[in-house]
A and B are shown apart, each in its own frame.
Chain A
Amino acid sequence: MATVVARDELRKLQATWHERPGLKAFLTTVDHKSIGRRYLVTASLFFVAAGVEALALRTQLAVPDAGAIGPKAYNQLFSMHGVTMIFLFVTPFLSGFGNFIVPLQIGARDMAFPRMNALSYWTYLASGVFIYSSFLVGEAPNDGWFNYTPLAEKAFTPGLNIDYYNLGLLFLAISSTVGSINFIVTILKLRAPGMSLNRIPLFCWGILAQAFSLVFALPALSAANIFLELQRRFGFHFFDHSHGGDPLLWQHLFWIFGHPDVYIIFLPAIGIVSSVVPVFARRSLVAHDWLVLATVATAFLGFGVWVHHMFATGLPNVTFAFFAATSVIIAIPSGVQVFGWIATILKGHPVIRSPMLYVLGFLVVFVVGGVTGVMFAAIPFDQQVTDSYFVVAHFHYVLFGGAVFPIFAGIHYWYPKLVGRMLDERLATWSFWLFFVGFNLTFFPMHVTGLLGMPRRIYTYHPGLGWDTLNLLSTIGAFTLAVGILGTMGNVLRSARRGEPAPDDPWGANTLEWATSSPPPHFNFASIPVVRSQDPNWDVEDRREDRRRLARAELTLSEGHETIGTSWLDGDIEEIHESPPESPWPLVLTLALAWFFTAFLTGHWVLAAIGIGLTTAAVGGWNLREPGEE
C-alpha cells in the first residue's frame, strides 16, 4: 500500500516538474540545476579566455625587451584578464555552484524567483559577450580593471574601450543584483522545515554574505560607471578638476565596491572549503558558530577598508586612521576560519581525496596571501610597494589562492552530483600537483620582483635590473599551471562519458544535496526533508523518516509546481510557495536590454530609446500571465 502511494506521488511530481527536452526547453527553462550548469560552463569558457590572456602576458614578460606583444595590445590584455577573472569567471562560477547547490542544501525545489534566475544567467551571458565583442573592433577596455580617471576620461582614452567597460559592467550589474536578491530570499525563506538560522550550511552562509555584499556594494560601482559614461558621452563633469570634479571621486566609488568585491569573490569560495573539510575530516566543523560569524563579519567589515587601496594618494593621515584599524582587524575573522578548519582536520580522521587536496593547497596559499595582506595595513610599507609586482603577488595569492583553489575543490567535490559520474582520481591528483607547483612558481617570485622595484602594468623591461630570471621562472610557472588546469578540464570532459556512475552520496557527506539522487530529479526531493541538526545527512533516522513520509504522501506537494516557504529565523512552515514554470520572457528581456546597450554604445539614440521601450514591454509581457494560469 505504502509503496503504491509513493509511486503515485513520484509519478505526479515527475509529470509536474518535467521539461520536455528540446530547443524550447533550452531557451525557456527555469530549473535551477540547468541554470547552475550553464553558469558553470559559460564561466569556464571565460576562464579559458582569461587564461589565454594571462599566458600571452607571461610570454611577453618571459625575457627582457621582448617583442611578442606591443604596448597597446598589452594594455587591453591585462585589463581584460582582470575584468574577466573578477567579473566574468570567479563570481559567476560561484553563482553557478550557488544555483545548483543552494536549493539542494536547504531542501527546496527551486530558487525563490526561478524566472529571475534565468534572467540573471541570460544577462550574464549577454553582458560577457558584449564586453568581449570589444576585441572585434580592437578597442577592448585598456585602463586596468579599476579603470582610474583621469586616464579613463575621453581626452586620454578616446576610443570605445571605456564605453565597453562602463556599459558592460552596468549590464552585468543587472545580472548580479537580480541573482543576489534571489539568493538572499531563497536562503531566508525557502529552507527546509526545522532548518533554523544556526543550521544553515556554511556554503549557504557564504553565498548569503556574498549576496548581501553585492546588494550594497555594487551600486557604488554602478554610480561610478553611470557618472563616467555621462561624462564621456554627454560632457557632464564628475571627475575633471577643471569643472569642479575630482578624479579621486572615481577611486572612492570604485573601491567602496572594489574592496567588498574581494570578499564577494572570497566568501562563497571559503564556503566550499567549509563544506569539504568536515566531510573529509569525518567530523562536524569545530567552532561552527564562529565560522558563521567570521563569514558574516568579514563581509560587513569589508565595507570599512576601501581607503587602504588609496594609501598612496596623499589623503590626510586622519582619513587613513579610519581605515587602518579595520584593515588590521579584518584579519581576525580569516584567522578564526583558518584555525577552525585546521582544528577540524586535526580532531577528525582525515581522508585525502582530490577535493581535500585542493583545500589543503588553499590553506597553504591563502595563509601566505593573508600575511602579505596584513603587511599592507602598515601604511609606510604599503606606500613603498604599491603598484609593484609585490601587489600582483599578494592579490593572486588571496584571489587565486582564496577563490580558484576552493573552486577546484568544489569541482571535484560536486562533480558526482552535477554529472552523475565520478572523476578519475589519479588524473585529478596529477593535475592538482601541476596546479599547485605551477601556481607557486608563477606568483611566489613576483614578491621578489616587486621588492626589487618592478612596477605593474608595464609591457616590457630592460635587462640588467635583476628581474630577468625571476620573470622567466614566473612564465614557466604559468605554463605549468595551465597544464594542470588542462588536466582537470580533460578529466571533467572525459569522465562525463566514461566516469564510474556516482552513487547518491559518494563521500559520506553531511548536507542535504547528497540526500537525493546524482544527478537530482527535476523536483529535487520527493518529500521535502525535515531537519533537526547542522549535519542533516548524517542523521540517518531523519532521512529514513523522509522516505516514510513520501509513502504517506506528506510534504510531497505533488498537486502543483510547489515548494515550502518557511520563517527566516526558525524555519517554521509558513506557506506553500507556488513556483512559476518555464518562461520565454527572461530571454526576451535580455535581448531587449542587449539592444539598448548596443544602441547606446554605438551612439544611436533613437534606437536606444526604442530599446528602453522594448525592455518595458518585455517586463509587461513577463507578468501578463500568472504562474499556473495557462
Chain B
Amino acid sequence: MSEPLDVPVALQRGRPVGWWGVLLLVATEAALFGAMIASYFYLRFQAVHWPPPGVPEPKVLVPTLLTIVLVCSSVPAGAAAAAGRRRLPGRASTGLVTTAALAAVYAAGTFVLMVQEWQDSPATKDAYDSLFFTIQGAHAAHVAAGILVNLYLLATIARGRISQYRMNGIWAMSLYWHFVNALAVLVLLTTVSPSL
C-alpha cells in the first residue's frame, strides 16, 4: 500500500506541459492548413484550366530555394532547445538568432515574390489566385509570428540565466519551428504543383 510518496523538488522526468500544449496547437494548425490545401485541390479537380487562362504558371525555382533555407532552420532550433535543457544561455541564444535569421530570409523573399505575383495576377482575380495567396499568406504569417517569439525568448535570457519557465518556452518553440518548416514543404508542393 504505502509506496514512498516523497517527491523530490527538482524532479522532472517528462516533457513540460507547455511542450504538450504547443504539440496540440501544432495539431490544430495542421488541420487548418489541411482544410485550406484540401480546398485548393477540391477546386482544382473541378477546373478545366488550372491556373485559369491568363494567369501565369507559378514560379518554382526561387520558392524552392527559399523553402530550403527555411527548412535548414530546424537545425539551430533543435540546438537551441538542447542548449536550453542544459541551461547554456550562450548556445541557446545563438540557436534562437540563427533560426530567426534563416526564417527572416524566407519571410522577406516570400514577401517580395508575393508582391510581384500579386501585380501579375491579384488574389481577387479568381479562385486559383485566392487560394494561392491565402495559403502562402497564412504560412508566411506563421513564420513571422515565430520570428517575433524567437526574438522575445532571446530577450528573456539576455541576462545570462535560463529559468525552467524559459527553458520550457525554448523547447516548445523548437517544436513549432519543426512544424512550420514541414508545413513549408507541403505549402510549396501545393502552390507549385501546376508547374510540375
A residues neighboring B (CB under 8 Å) = 112-113, 116, 177, 180-182, 184-185, 188-190, 193, 215-220, 222-224, 226-227, 230-231, 234-238, 243-246, 249, 252-253, 256, 530, 545, 549, 554-555, 557, 559, 564-565, 567, 573-578, 616, 620, 623, 626-627
Residues on A with beta carbons closer than 8 Å to the beta carbon of B46: 244, 246
Min CB gap A335→B, angstroms: 29
Residues on A with beta carbons closer than 8 Å to the beta carbon of B156: 623
Contact (Cβ within 8 A) B42 A565 = no
Decide yes or no whether B62 CB sits under 8 A from chain A: no
| Candidates B7, B24, B39; contact of A223 at CB < 8 Å | B39
Contact (Cβ within 8 A) B12 A575 = yes
Min CB gap B12→A, angstroms: 4
Residues on B with beta carbons closer than 8 Å to the beta carbon of A185: 17, 20-21, 24
Residues on A with beta carbons closer than 8 Å to the beta carbon of B131: 238
List 13 A–B pairs whose Cβ atoms lie within 8 Å, in order of A's numbering. A113-B21, A185-B20, A190-B17, A220-B31, A234-B124, A238-B130, A243-B125, A244-B46, A578-B164, A616-B148, A620-B152, A623-B156, A627-B165
| Candidates A116, A215, A256, A623; contact of B35 at CB < 8 Å | A256
Residues on B with beta carbons closer than 8 Å to the beta carbon of A244: 43, 46-47, 52, 126-128
Knowing A181-B28, A219-B32, A223-B35, say if A189 contacts B20 (CB, 8 Å): yes
Min CB gap A392→B, angstroms: 29
Specify the chain A residue showing the minimal Cβ separation from B31: A219
Contact (Cβ within 8 A) B24 A181 = yes
Decide yes or no whether B13 CB sits under 8 A from chain A: yes
Q: How many residues of B contact A (CB 8 A)?
A: 46
Contact (Cβ within 8 A) A243 B148 = no
Residues on B with beta carbons closer than 8 Å to the beta carbon of A578: 164-165
A555 to B7, CA, bound (A): 7
Residues on A with beta carbons closer than 8 Å to the beta carbon of B152: 620, 623
| Candidates A220, A238, A549; contact of B5 at CB < 8 Å | A549
**Interface digits, B17-33 against A, CB 8 Å rule (1 contact, 0 not)?**
10011001101110110
Specify the chain A residue showing the minimal Cβ separation from B52: A244
Contact (Cβ within 8 A) A565 B17 = yes
| Candidates B31, B124, B148, B166; contact of A626 at CB < 8 Å | B166
Decide yes or no whether B2 CB sits under 8 A from chain A: yes
Contact (Cβ within 8 A) B43 A249 = yes
Decide yes or no whether B112 CB sits under 8 A from chain A: no
Contact (Cβ within 8 A) A181 B25 = yes
Specify the chain A residue showing the minimal Cβ separation from B145: A616
**Interface digits, B25-67 against A, CB 8 Å rule (1 contact, 0 not)?**
1011101101110010011001100001000000000000000
B residues neighboring A (CB under 8 Å) = 1-2, 5-7, 9, 11-14, 17, 20-21, 24-25, 27-29, 31-32, 34-36, 39, 42-43, 46-47, 52, 123-128, 130-131, 134, 148, 152, 156, 163-166, 169
Contact (Cβ within 8 A) A184 B24 = yes
The 7 A-B pairs with the shortest beta carbon distances in the complex, nearest first, are A219-B32, A244-B127, A223-B35, A219-B31, A236-B130, A574-B14, A235-B124
A190 to B34, CA, bound (A): 30
A318 to B166, CA, bound (A): 53
Interface of chain B: mostly helix, strand, loop or mixed: helix
A123 to B13, CA, bound (A): 34
| Candidates A188, A215, A224, A246; contact of B42 at CB < 8 Å | A246
Contact (Cβ within 8 A) A189 B5 = no
Contact (Cβ within 8 A) A219 B166 = no
Residues on A with beta carbons closer than 8 Å to the beta carbon of B124: 234-237
Number of A-B contacts (CB under 8 A): 142
A180 to B165, CA, bound (A): 22
Min CB gap B29→A, angstroms: 7
Contact (Cβ within 8 A) A193 B5 = yes
What would 15 more interface pairs be, CB under 8 Å, given A181-B21, A623-B152? A113-B21, A180-B24, A181-B25, A185-B24, A193-B5, A216-B28, A218-B31, A220-B31, A236-B134, A244-B126, A554-B6, A574-B11, A575-B11, A575-B12, A626-B166
Residues on A with beta carbons closer than 8 Å to the beta carbon of B127: 237-238, 243-246
Min CB gap B188→A, angstroms: 19
Knowing A236-B124, A565-B14, A574-B13, say if A253 contacts B134 (CB, 8 Å): no
Residues on B with beta carbons closer than 8 Å to the beta carbon of A616: 148
| Candidates A181, A230, A576; contact of B130 at CB < 8 Å | A230
Residues on A with beta carbons closer than 8 Å to the beta carbon of B21: 112-113, 116, 181-182, 185
Contact (Cβ within 8 A) B12 A574 = yes
Min CB gap B128→A, angstroms: 6
Min CB gap B106→A, angstroms: 20
Knowing A219-B34, A223-B39, A627-B165, say if A237 contacts B11 (CB, 8 Å): no
Knowing A243-B126, A555-B7, A574-B14, say if A219 contacts B29 (CB, 8 Å): yes
Knowing A243-B126, A567-B14, say if A573 contacts B35 (CB, 8 Å): no
Contact (Cβ within 8 A) A252 B42 = yes
Specify the chain A residue showing the minimal Cβ separation from B137: A230
A396 to B166, CA, bound (A): 49
A185 to B23, CA, bound (A): 10
Central interface residue in B17, B20, B156, B164, by most chain A CB within 10 Å? B17
Residues on B with beta carbons closer than 8 Å to the beta carbon of A627: 165
Residues on B with beta carbons closer than 8 Å to the beta carbon of A559: 9
Contact (Cβ within 8 A) B34 A237 = no
